[in-house]
Amino acid sequence: AADLAVIMATLVLPFLAPFVFVFTGGDPTVFTSSADYTNQDMIVRLAIMVAVCVAAAVGLAVLWFGFRHEDDEHPRWRPHLMHWAMLMGGFWLIQIIFFTTFFTNTVNGLATGVVGSLGYWLAQQGVKRGSQPVYYYVLIGWLYEFLPAILSIGGFATVFYNLVMSPVRHFRWDPVVAGDLPPSVARETQARIAEAQAAAVAVDRTADTDETAPPAAAAVDPADEARFYRVVFAIFGIWWVIASWIAYSVAGEKMPWLLVHIALPMCVFGGWWLGYLLRRIEWRSAWRARTWLLTIVIPAVLFISLIITTVLSGDAGVESSAAGRILQWLLIFGALGAVIFGGVYGVLRSGFQEGLRLLAVGLAGLLLVLTIRTSFTLTYINYDMATEFLVYAHGGPDIKRALTELDTISERTVGGRNIVVAYDNDSAWPFSWYMRLYPNAKYYGESPTPDAMAAPVVIVGPANRAKVEPYMARDYVKRTYRRIWWPEMDYFDLTPDRVWGALTDPAQRERIFDIIAFRKYRDPQNLSQFRDLSKWPYQGEFDMYVRRDLASQIWDLAVVPMAPTELSNVPVIEPGQVRSIAATGIYDGAYDDLPLFAPRAVAVGPNGERVIADTSNHRIVVVDGTGAELRTFGSHCNLTDPTGTPCVDPDGDGPLALGDG
């Protein structure tokens, strides 16, 4: 185990260069996603720090492995310095190949891989991405890692009882059951005991023949020495678990994927305790006395408690008479009493400690089943749903749905994925990744261009929606999708009063239970209803515009032309009523802080001004020859709708009639 710890330390040391950089006065914010690893001064400084860490790793390996010789008498094989060097060579060969993308990105690849991996995390501490509360890991940890957490608590209790509460056991407690010691360790221990006994006999003989010889020092029992190291491991496990919880809870960046660094020590320490527990049980005696049935007591009690909760909530699904309800409660409490009586009897029959061990095994088995259920649901059912907390920002299922529709349109019109599709910077995540498959994709950033807006399919995020809509209003069909969504964030700003209020309110307790057990969320404003995922409050959208003539062809996608609007009823100026002109400019600015929206006509006034019918904005825009705004006028009154509310005549002569003004 010590050899493995040294090997792991020498593997990790070179990656700790960012810590050295920060401790020597460096600014951790240089390790951002846009860090310039091509800067010569920065490269030199980081290279020196990596070299220092590598030298420390080599020095540690030489001190630990370098002074071993082949003629050392060890009952079992142990690695030497050459073995360590071969291991490092294989490790770094793999790292360098992948960090440099098969040697196509050498300097920047090595810098981002060796230094940027930890450096980026350090840089995020000041950013505090997500701004999660200090209790964030307590919430999601108990949602997903409840099994190792409870096993770790059992390990804490066992170590505390044997080392603190029982001074007598302190001197003879072994964290490993004797039967679980590996044969090689057992042989080595026996060999050392034999050597110690032989040395003690030799000392005794010397003392018998030489009365002037000083008394021999008391020899250390090799078995006690080995047991001491195993006790140290158990104490180290406690420190590892507690230190991980504290370190990641106080860190600035709290993201759900970092939970693995808290779960790992709990799995190791909790796994040790579960193995220790299982090996301490006398299973043959438990089978003969049938006390093994204690393992089903806790699952049975929890199951009956769930039935009671269901009945109390009124969701039993069966309406019955008063006599039926009484019989129902008698059966429930009769079953509960029988299970509790059987549990108490089994504990008394097997002995208190043995009974507790069997009950704990039953609880661990139940938690194992629930962990499998939670893992399966997360991985295969809710993997892209915002109902799970273990992924902070989900790409919604609508992304794949939109891409499927895009593929269908492309295959039916131009073949393959050759359709022209334009997308902006607000939808670049995640579409930059998917658009690599579309050779004719166009990126227009935050500035829509006429060329990009002529694409058969246009994708836009909310940030640029107002800029794109005027181009799309007449000839495109729009569908809105969920691009990204986040888990519920009602856990922010928790106070003792909020927690107590939620625990004492039956409706809030039911809401919490639905979240924990089923990942179903009741509307906080109306706890009798569940939230509609299509109206999830924590989400970002994107719009996909499809040219109207294409949308009418792809009928099976339910992409149909928009219903006729008031635009089709607006009187259109006939040819000859105004003097037509050749196009001499493009007027696409914002006039009176409002961009043009579906303009239908343009004319030239007597003084050369351009008069634009900005139809969807219900106004007339007048600009000069250079496009500078002169004036705007209009209103949203619908003169052609006799059933609508009459508009007010600006002259004050009464209801406005067609032709007034």
The DSSP code sequence of 301-360 is HHHHHHHHHHHHTT-SS----HHHHHHHHHHHHHHHHHHHHHHHHHHHHH-HHHHHHHHH
Give the pLDDT confidence score for residue 139 in this predicted structure.
93
The DSSP code sequence of 239-306 is HHHHHHHHHHHHSS---GGGHHHHHHHHHHHHHHHHHHHHHHS-HHHHHHHTGGGGGGHHHHHHHHHH
Q: Measured between alpha carbons, how far is 201 from 216 in angstroms, rounded to an integer?
A: 11
- Residue among 565, 562, 566, 561 at smallest CA distance from 549: 561
Q: Measured between alpha carbons, how far is 107 from 115 in angstroms, rounded to an integer?
A: 11
Domain ranges of the chain: 2-127, 138-276, 281-381, 394-557, 571-661
| b/e code 82-94 from CB counts within 10 Å (16+ = b) | eebeeebeeeeee
Q: Determine the 3-state secondary structure of 452 from DSSP.
A: helix
Answer whether 612's CB lies under 8 Å from 602's CB: yes
Task: Flag residues of the chain having pLDDT under 70.
Answer: 1, 33-38, 67-77, 166-171, 178, 182, 184-197, 199-223, 312-321, 554-588, 636-661
DSSP secondary-structure letter at 648?
B
Q: Measured between alpha carbons, how far is 596 from 550 in angstroms, rounded to an integer?
A: 25
Give the pLDDT confidence score for residue 3 in this predicted structure.
81
Give the pLDDT confidence score for residue 116 in this predicted structure.
83
User: What tokens were used for 45?
Assistant: 């400084």
Q: Measured between alpha carbons, how far is 291 from 350 in angstroms, rounded to an integer?
A: 6
Give the pLDDT confidence score for residue 206 in this predicted structure.
58
pTM of the model: 0.71
Q: Determine the 3-state secondary structure of 602 from DSSP.
A: strand
Give the pLDDT confidence score for residue 106 in this predicted structure.
84
Q: Determine the 3-state secondary structure of 224 from DSSP.
A: helix
Give the pLDDT confidence score for residue 579 in this predicted structure.
47
Q: Which residue has the tokens 């006065």?
A: 25
Give the pLDDT confidence score for residue 202 in this predicted structure.
61
